[in-house]
């Protein structure tokens, strides 16, 4: 197909560990494969200086464009025949949008505390490999209007979701994901909070 395709977008820390990653292709079917790729790409680019201009490299028949700021390492990967400048534009969009969302404090701590914003940001840039938006202002605008208070109690909707689902594993998975999203609650806590809300709403 001739449509420009993005294979993955990665945000790693200064040791190569994941902060937020999104894969849009089957080239890395297992988590082990993904982690191996992240390690490889990090090692290859570690020593370069990609802080003023976006840098580019090629390995394993993939083109990777990347840019660093403080302890954040941004990567965008495409196939070897992709237009490198399109990849760079996506990278710039992601990079600048994160800058806007983190309100100037672009480091790992801030990123982890606002992980939900970053995940939403990724969601607004590429959908299933197809580029949705490249303008950082537009991207940040779409995310910011729905910024979330970390630590807010789970809303009724989610608790309903968790309870009315006849699929307990599904409910458990949803809760796990919510945990990963940095709400800093264990699974049990999440379910407990949800139960509490439901009870409260029933008593109203």
Partner 1 sequence: MGLRRMVYVIIKELSPSADEVIIVTSSLMKDMTSKTDMYRANAIRVLCRITDGTLLTQIERYLKQAIVDKNPVVASAALVSGIHLLQTNPEIVKRWSNEVQEAVQSRAALVQFHALALLHQIRQNDRLAVNKLVSSLTRGSVRSPLAQCLLIRYTSQVIRESTNDTQTGDRPFYDFLEGCLRHKAEMVIFEAARAITELSGVTSRELTPAITVLQLFLSSSKPVLRFAAVRTLNKVAMSHPTAVTNCNIDMESLISDQNRSIATLAITTLLKTGNESSVDRLMKQITNFMSDIADEFKIVVVDAIRSLCLKFPLKHRSLMNFLSNILREEGGFEYKKAIVDSIVILIRDIPEAKESGLLHLCEFIEDCEFTYLSTQILHFLGIEGPKTSDPSKYIRYIYNRVHLENATVRAGAVSTLAKFGAMVDGLKPRIFVLLRRCLFDNDDEVRDRATLYLSTLGGDGAVVETDDGVKEFLFGSLDVPLVNLENSLKNYDPSEKAFDINSVPKDVKTQPLAEKKATSKRPTGLGAPPPGPPSTVDAYEKLLSSIPEFASFGKLFKSSAPVELTEAETEYAVNVVKHIFDGHVVFQYNCSNTIPEQLLENVTVIVDASEAEEFAEVVSKPLRQLPYDSPGQTFVAFEKPEGVSAVGKFSNMLRFIVKEVDPSTGEAEDDGVEDEYQLEDLELVAADYMLKVGVSNFRNAWESMGVDFEHVDEYGLGPRDSLAEAVNAVINLLGMQPCEGTEVVPPNSRSHTCLLSGVYIGNVKVLVRLQFGLDGPKDVAMKLAVRSEEETVSDAIHEIVASG
Binding site for partner 1 (CB under 8 A): 1-4, 48-49, 53-61, 65, 80, 83-89, 116, 119-120, 123, 127-128, 130-134, 142, 145-148, 152, 154-155, 157-158, 160-161, 164-165, 167, 170, 173-174, 177-178, 181
> From start to end of 24-120, where are the E strands?
55-59, 62-69, 72-79
Provide, rounded to whole angstroms, the least separation between the CB of residue 119 and partner 1. Answer: 6
User: Do 148 and 136 meet the contact criterion of CB atoms below 8 Å apart?
Assistant: no
Closest CA to 98 of 59, 79, 125: 125
- Smaller CB separation from partner 1, 85 or 203: 85
- Smaller CB separation from partner 1, 15 or 84: 84
Give the tokens for residue 21. 């990653």
User: Do 181 and 142 meet the contact criterion of CB atoms below 8 Å apart?
Assistant: no
- Smaller CB separation from partner 1, 83 or 184: 83
Provide, rounded to whole angstroms, the least separation between the CB of residue 92 and partner 1. Answer: 10
CA distance 129 to 125: 9
Closest CA to 103 of 154, 66, 143, 134: 143
User: Do 75 and 7 meet the contact criterion of CB atoms below 8 Å apart?
Assistant: no
Provide, rounded to whole angstroms, the least separation between the CB of residue 13 and partner 1. Answer: 22
> From start to end of the chain, where are the E strands?
8-13, 18-23, 55-59, 62-69, 72-79, 126-127, 130-131
- Smaller CB separation from partner 1, 148 or 192: 148
- Smaller CB separation from partner 1, 100 or 119: 119
Residue carrying the six token digits 């909070």: 193
Provide, rounded to whole angstroms, the least separation between the CB of residue 61 and partner 1. Answer: 5
Provide, rounded to whole angstroms, the least separation between the CB of residue 26 and partner 1. Answer: 13
User: Do 119 and 126 meet the contact criterion of CB atoms below 8 Å apart?
Assistant: no
Provide, rounded to whole angstroms, the least separation between the CB of residue 181 and partner 1. Answer: 6
- Smaller CB separation from partner 1, 41 or 54: 54
């Amino acid at each position: 197909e001739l449509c420009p395709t993005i294979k993955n977008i990665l945000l790693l820390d200064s040791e190569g560990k994941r902060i937020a990653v999104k894969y849009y292709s089957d080239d890395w079917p297992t988590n082990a494969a993904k982690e191996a790729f992240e390690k490889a790409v990090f090692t290859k680019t570690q020593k370069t200086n990609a802080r003023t201009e976006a840098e580019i490299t090629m390995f394993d028949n993939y083109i990777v464009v990347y840019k660093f700021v403080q302890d954040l390492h941004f990567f965008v990967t495409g196939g070897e025949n992709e237009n490198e400048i399109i990849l760079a534009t996506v990278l710039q969009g992601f990079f600048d949008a994160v800058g806007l969302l983190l309100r100037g404090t672009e480091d790992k701590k801030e990123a982890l505390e606002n992980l939900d914003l970053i995940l939403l940001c990724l969601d607004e840039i590429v959908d299933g490999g197809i580029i949705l938006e490249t303008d950082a202002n537009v991207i940040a605008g779409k995310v910011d209007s729905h910024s979330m208070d970390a630590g807010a109690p789970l809303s009724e909707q989610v608790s309903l979701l968790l309870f009315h689902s006849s699929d307990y594993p599904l409910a458990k998975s949803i809760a796990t994901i919510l945990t990963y999203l940095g709400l800093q609650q264990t699974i049990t806590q999440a379910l407990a909070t949800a139960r509490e809300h439901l009870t409260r709403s029933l008593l109203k």
